[in-house]
A and B are shown apart, each in its own frame.
Chain A
Amino acid sequence: MIALLIVIPAAVGIVAFFVESDRLRRILLVCAALAHTTLSLTTWLVPPAPALGGWLAEDALGRLIETLTSVLFLAASFYGVAYLREERSRPHSDFEEGFLFSNAREATFTGCLLLFLAAMTLVTVSQQLALLWVAVEGTTLASAPLIFFHRHHRSLEATWKYLLICSVGIAFALLGIFFLAVAASDPGSSTISLMVDDLRTNAHHLNVPWLKAAFVLLLVGYGTKMGLAPFHTWLPDAHSEAPSVASALLSGALLNCAFLGILRTQEICVAGGLADFSDKLLLVFGLLSMAVAAVFIAGQTDYKRMLAYSSVEHMGILAVGVGLGGAAVFGAVLHLINHSLTKAMLFLVAGNLLAVYRTKSTAGVAGALTALPVSGALWLLGLFAITGSPPFGPFLSEFTIVKAALDQGQTFVAVIFLVILAVILAAMAAPALTMAQGTPGEHVLPVPGRSFALSAVPVLLGIAVLMMGVYVPPVLTRALREAAHLLG
């Protein structure tokens, strides 16, 4: 069953490259997404047997991220079909500079989207660290063409930075895996298991300096992909230039998968009694990411870049939560879900604003509540949700992390954390209000007959965000506890 989770999107993705009919291809996309989500949800009822000799298996953490990825992909596929229908293949004029450009073939986009899902699923179910590496690099390669959907010089620049920076980062992670293998090798034997479970069981016998070095390399490598400062430089460019469907998946699903790579190593460090060392590094990089994000959000004039920097901030929050340990880990895993749902919704709404206002500049959007009542309201609520206002999900998880920090006597961390959140709230509230209120300018084209799915999908995600703040289902709480347990 696990193999099916990867094979279905991969096979349909390859087929999609060769399907000529737009209609058929879009149906295939939605069907594959539906099948994938159904299978993912089934794994909660019937735990699947490990496949490939235990290499592919689901644990609590992997299942959580896998299901989240699958649900977001389903949402993105419905939105994406509506989006692709409106993006006809004729040349478009660029919003910012006015030149004409065309889009990549829709078949390429759809195919890569599905291969991207397959690669992400492989990341979440890999219990073998080297296989996980192969899958993470696979996500880079499958998603690069998504960023280059609009064929113009800015998206090309973003794609190039993404490809090169992430590939180089990931090369460091591979070195980290080799270091981990050295840490696990006994004199005289040449077979080394890179299974997470084996490494965790033998964690106390691992060579400590090598394990530490491996953690640093893996943190830098996967941290690049995850968008931790100072390795985040590709992220704002890629997220702002990709079509909004792809941005939503990059931010909501891909970053979690990269984080999972770090978490697997963290599990080994915790089991080996090295939590002190790895926690400190996570805290430092986490707080640094939050601070860097705050600086760039404060002066941001481009609303998609603002959302991208907000992703850097939230990746920082995840790292801080895991770095604090104890109850904060529970908060971090909960926050991972909340951030993904909220940010995916915001990117999809940003896509709607972009389609109507034809600008990414914050100053160029006014009266969104009048021009696009549903999207405007979601934009306003979403920005308040992502900055941690009650009663939405992110508030609950951020509160859990801060409370854990205070309970542990880490007042210093808690204070910095809260100050940065306050700065970001202030910085994002202003554009949220000016964009939503006022009267839309005359250049704003009312777009008749916009597809229903373009607002319905963000609304459903918004309901989920609200629900996560009010009521977390017991099934989920149990899974979160189990996932947090392995991380200290």
Chain B
Amino acid sequence: MNQLINSLLVILVLTGFMLLGSSRLDSCIRTVAVQGVLLGILGVAMQADQWSIAGVMLPLSSAVVKGFVLPWLLFRAMREADTAREVEPFISYNLSILAGATVLGLSLWLGRQLQLANQPASSLLVPAAFFTSLVGMIVIVSRRKALTQVLGYLALENGVYAFGAAVALRLPILVELGILLDVFVGVFVMGIAIFHISREFDHIDTDKLTALTDRLR
């Protein structure tokens, strides 16, 4: 089972780099969808020692929401916003990848520093979780479109979720569902906002949202 978990984590790290390196919006959405599915499988695999129906259903429903429902919403937002299919980053793709590599180094170092009472199933788990979160942060700050910021937020959330899996934290079902619902409604509301932004401004570039500043005397 550790073999499987390790390969899942390696793929998770690779999706992080794909998110940083791809220039097309639709492939970014697909990458984040793959992350969601990976995390679902990871959640099931982590419970290999003690199966339970709830323990399997929750990661699977999370995989369905993050892997299929949210990407569908985002594709729809992209179509309705009728936006160019380019990611339009503020920094070059090479620099993004370089930032990703730096962040990966940082995550591996952090993972080694942290002392966990319960050894996680794989030593890669904590670094991969931090890496995914940090990639999300890079995407949020370095991309121009509102839609890519949502993708960054989702990657950040995926990283946090992976950390929860890493420390083998069994949250009560109600809370797990609550978190999933929050992410779902959050992306739903953001999708509506993107639709309005595109209608109001004819673009979804957040760097042009600059009407609100402090005009000081």
- Residue numbers of A with Cβ under 8 A of B are 52, 128, 130-131, 133-134, 137-138, 140-141, 144-145, 148, 151-154, 156-161, 163-164, 167-168, 171, 174-175, 178, 181-182, 185-188, 190-192, 194, 207, 209, 236-237, 240-241, 296, 298-302, 305
Residue in B168, B186, B197 whose CB lies within 8 Å of A156: B197
Residue in B172, B179, B216 whose CB lies within 8 Å of A174: B179
Given contacts A171-B157, A171-B160, A187-B118, A163 and B193 within 8 Å (CB-CB): yes
Residue in A154, A188, A190, A296 whose CB lies within 8 Å of B212: A154
B149 within 8 A of A: yes
Alpha-carbon distance between A268 and B17 when the two chains are bound, in angstroms: 38
> Would B189 and A144 count as touching, CB distance under 8 A?
yes
Chain A residue, CB-CB nearest to B209: A157
> Would B169 and A181 count as touching, CB distance under 8 A?
yes
Residue in A134, A137, A168, A186 whose CB lies within 8 Å of B156: A168
Which of A137, A157, A171 counts the most B-chain CB atoms under 10 A from its CB?
Answer: A171
Chain B residue, CB-CB nearest to A164: B149
Given contacts A156-B200, A305-B214, A178 and B116 within 8 Å (CB-CB): no
B57 within 8 A of A: no
Of residues 122 through 181 on chain B, the ones whose CB sits less than 8 Å from some CB of chain A are 133, 137, 140, 146, 149-150, 153, 156-157, 160, 163-164, 167-172, 174-175, 178-179, 181
Alpha-carbon distance between A85 and B178 when the two chains are bound, in angstroms: 36
Alpha-carbon distance between A138 and B180 when the two chains are bound, in angstroms: 11
Given contacts A134-B178, A299-B214, A153 and B163 within 8 Å (CB-CB): no
Residues of A near B190 (CB, < 8 A) are: 163-164, 167
Please provide the 8 A-B residue pairs with the shortest distance between their CB atoms, ordered closest to farther: A299-B216, A134-B178, A137-B182, A130-B175, A157-B209, A237-B212, A299-B217, A187-B117
Alpha-carbon distance between A240 and B201 when the two chains are bound, in angstroms: 21
Residues of A near B185 (CB, < 8 A) are: 141
> Would A301 and B215 count as touching, CB distance under 8 A?
yes
> Would B211 and A174 count as touching, CB distance under 8 A?
no
Chain A residue, CB-CB nearest to B204: A160
Alpha-carbon distance between A167 and B116 when the two chains are bound, in angstroms: 27
Interface flags, B59-85, vs A, CB<8A=1, else 0: 000000000000000000000000000
Chain A binding surface SS class: helix
Alpha-carbon distance between A19 and B65 when the two chains are bound, in angstroms: 30
Given contacts A134-B182, A160-B197, A185-B117, A192 and B169 within 8 Å (CB-CB): yes
Which of B116, B172, B186 counts the most A-chain CB atoms under 10 A from its CB?
Answer: B186
Given contacts A141-B189, A190-B170, A160 and B179 within 8 Å (CB-CB): no
Shortest B204–chain A CB gap in Å is 10
Residues of A near B209 (CB, < 8 A) are: 156-157, 160-161
Chain A residue, CB-CB nearest to B188: A141
Residues of A near B200 (CB, < 8 A) are: 152-153, 156
Chain A residue, CB-CB nearest to B165: A178
> Would A178 and B160 count as touching, CB distance under 8 A?
yes
> Would B193 and A171 count as touching, CB distance under 8 A?
no
Q: What are 21 pairs between A and B in contact, CB < 8 Å? A: A128-B175, A130-B172, A134-B178, A134-B179, A140-B186, A144-B189, A160-B146, A160-B197, A160-B206, A164-B150, A167-B186, A167-B190, A175-B133, A190-B118, A191-B170, A192-B169, A192-B170, A236-B214, A296-B214, A302-B214, A302-B215
